[in-house]
């Protein structure tokens, strides 16, 4: 399964898996399958993990049937959306058969049993190319799985394949790799870094996916593609076997089509890992048993100036409607003041590019000719960060984090946009050096993500409406450390009284 680095694309990578032999081994006509099984409806790819899991557990559908349907859908539509850099068809189908046999034998692993998912291609996957979006790693084949991958597979999840991302998980793509396409409008931005995960999840090419977030890379693609993204507390989910960008700010989390699904995946992924010394040792609080509990009496913090200044009107209006719904359900809306964020972006940049040099030390600068122009520029800039600049950025981070934690202690959750605008027109050249002007054309007011990477606070992004042009809008719920359970409870309460999560793009 060695990629051709001279002509590498999603389609070439798929061919390398051996589709011809697979077709002979597993002949499949999806229309016949759907006629034979009334539970395999035309839009089953848009079912939630919760819904599909009940069908599998009750043996109304098999994981093997479901996995074939998902692989067929990928082959039929992903040439448009370009989300999978590598499909793992033979492995996925064999795993599905094994899980079906386990179920027949009375072994049920839990709500992820037999559920097909996608994995961002910077998580190590045993015996499968793991490239982190860069040709510098085109030859890399891990001999072990990332802890997150292991835990998901042990819980019964089936990995369909590896999903595309920005080079090195930063902000530009490598010119020899394809760029994911927003399923709502091909002319719009599909988000940064975890864009393959966001597009694949929103477009029904998996039932859930894994993303990573250093400065917004779960939240931006969740927002612009209209799905749910959970960025856990820093250290709550292991980063062992995950290519780093800036390891002091990197987070790993689920991207799904419902809040409950995100909670299901998070419960499996989270927890102490002795292989990652930065993971938190405290037990993971169970979310699902209380996710539908009332939010009556909870304190919801809101800073109107922070949440509406330089924010597009349709986004600000949607956030107001979120607050109205939460208040209608009995939550108390509390005025709070967000700490000053004016220095966050510059400080974040210095820390990120300096740490990115360390994360890429095995291939940069020794193999710098393999990098695309955008990420190469950032790495070379990282070499120029002085100790004083890094120390000053660290000071800003520490002071801001202390102030934010004090604010969060007084409330159960803080509400703000996931991003200040609806998805804007995608860049004409997504491979180039990312200038400030280019980034500001995508996110004109970039103040809603990086602050919570600085603090390591958990956040939950949830669809909260559509613009007049039918573009998704997203709200962000932010909590104090280890408050994932209450964030999901609040997000679930909002979601259940709205219909935004039930809208899907027409592919």
Q: Which of 195, 217, 238, 483 is catalytic?
A: 217
Q: Which of 68, 82, 120, 162 is catalytic?
A: 120
Q: Which of 172, 190, 193, 480 is catalytic?
A: 193
Q: Are 13 and 87 in contact (CB under 8 A)?
A: yes
Q: Are 439 and 427 in contact (CB under 8 A)?
A: no
Query: Can you tell me the distance from the alpha carbon of 183 to that of 341, in angstroms, rounded to the nearest whole number?
Result: 32
Query: Can you tell me the distance from the alpha carbon of 200 to that of 498, in angstroms, rounded to the nearest whole number?
Result: 23
Looking up tokens 């280890």 gives 482
φ, ψ of residue 498 in degrees (nearest 5): -130, 175
Q: What is the DSSP pairing of strand 413-417 with strand 299-302? A: parallel
Active site residue 217: yes
The pair of structure tokens assigned to 329 is 């359900």
Within 8 A by CB and 6+ apart from 147, the residues are: 238, 240, 241, 273, 275, 276
Instruction: Check whether the bond before 396 is cis (ω within 30° of 0).
Output: no
Q: Residue 215: how many CA atoms within 13 Å on its side-chain side?
A: 24
Of 329, 304, 320, 5, residue with least CA distance to 135: 5
- Number of neighbours of residue 41 by Cβ within 10 angstroms: 11
Handedness of CA 197, 200, 205, 208 (dihedral sign): positive
Of 84, 85, 46, 86, residue with least CA distance to 66: 46
Query: Can you tell me the distance from the alpha carbon of 428 to that of 438, in angstroms, rounded to the nearest whole number?
Result: 10
CA distances (Å), 54 to each of 38, 59, 204, 284, 286, in order? 15, 8, 18, 24, 19
- Number of neighbours of residue 28 by Cβ within 10 angstroms: 14
Cα-only R_g, the chain: 21
The helix (H) or strand (E) run that includes residue 334 is: strand 332-335
Query: Can you tell me the distance from the alpha carbon of 185 to that of 177, in angstroms, rounded to the nearest whole number?
Result: 21
Beta strand spans in 214-296 (E): 228-231, 251-256
Query: Can you tell me the distance from the alpha carbon of 240 to that of 258, in angstroms, rounded to the nearest whole number?
Result: 26
Query: Can you tell me the distance from the alpha carbon of 34 to that of 62, in angstroms, rounded to the nearest whole number?
Result: 12
Active site residue 197: no
Of 282, 259, 260, residue with least CA distance to 270: 282
Point out the residues that are catalytic: 120, 193, 217
């Amino acid at each position: 399964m060695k990629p051709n680095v001279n002509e590498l694309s999603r389609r070439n990578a798929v061919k390398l898996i051996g589709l011809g032999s697979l077709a002979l081994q597993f002949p499949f006509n999806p229309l016949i399958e759907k006629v034979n099984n009334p539970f395999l409806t035309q839009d089953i790819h848009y079912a939630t993990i919760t819904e599909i899991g009940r069908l599998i557990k009750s043996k109304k559908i098999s994981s093997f049937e479901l996995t074939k349907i998902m692989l067929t859908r990928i082959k039929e539509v992903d040439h448009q959306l370009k989300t999978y850099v590598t499909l793992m068809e033979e492995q996925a189908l064999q795993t599905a058969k094994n899980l079906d046999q386990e179920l027949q034998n009375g072994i049920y692993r839990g709500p992820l049993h037999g559920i097909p998912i996608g994995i961002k291609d910077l998580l190590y996957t045993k015996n499968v190319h793991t490239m982190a979006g860069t040709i510098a790693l085109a030859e890399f084949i891990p001999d072990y799985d990332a802890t997150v991958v292991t835990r998901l597979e042990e819980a019964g999840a089936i990995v369909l394949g590896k999903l595309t991302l920005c080079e090195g998980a930063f902000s530009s793509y490598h010119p020899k790799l394809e760029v994911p396409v927003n399923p709502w409008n091909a002319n719009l931005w599909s988000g940064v870094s975890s864009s393959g995960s966001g597009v694949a999840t929103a477009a029904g090419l998996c039932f859930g996916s894994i993303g990573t977030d250093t400065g917004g890379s779960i939240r931006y693609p969740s927002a612009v593609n209209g799905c749910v993204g959970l960025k856990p507390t820093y250290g709550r989910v292991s980063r062992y076997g995950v290519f780093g960008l800036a390891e002091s700010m990197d987070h790993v989390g689920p991207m799904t089509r419902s809040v409950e699904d995100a909670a299901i995946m998070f419960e499996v992924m989270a927890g102490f890992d002795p292989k990652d010394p930065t993971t938190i040792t405290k037990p993971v609080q169970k979310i699902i048993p209380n996710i539908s509990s009332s939010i009556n009496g909870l304190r919801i913090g809101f800073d109107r100036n922070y949440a509406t200044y330089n924010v597009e009107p349709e986004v600000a209006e949607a956030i107001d409607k979120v607050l109205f719904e939460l208040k209608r359900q009995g939550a108390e809306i509390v005025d709070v003041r967000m700490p000053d964020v004016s220095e966050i972006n510059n400080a974040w940049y210095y820390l990120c590019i300096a740490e990115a040099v360390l994360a890429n030390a095995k291939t940069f600068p020794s193999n710098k000719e393999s990098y695309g122009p955008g990420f190469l520029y950032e790495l070379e800039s990282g070499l120029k960060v002085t100790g004083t600049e890094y120390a000053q950025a660290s000071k800003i981070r520490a002071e801001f984090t202390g102030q934010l934690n004090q604010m969060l202690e007084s409330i159960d959750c803080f509400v703000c946009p996931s991003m200040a605008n609806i998805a804007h027109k995608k860049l004409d050249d997504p491979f180039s050096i990312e200038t400030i002007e280019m980034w500001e054309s995508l996110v004109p007011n970039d103040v809603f993500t990086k602050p919570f990477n600085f603090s390591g606070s958990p956040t939950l992004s949830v669809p909260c409406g559509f613009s007049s042009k039918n573009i998704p809008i997203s709200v962000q719920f932010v909590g104090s450390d280890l408050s994932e359970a209450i964030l999901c409870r609040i997000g679930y309460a909002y979601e259940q009284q709205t219909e935004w999560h039930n809208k899907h793009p027409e592919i």
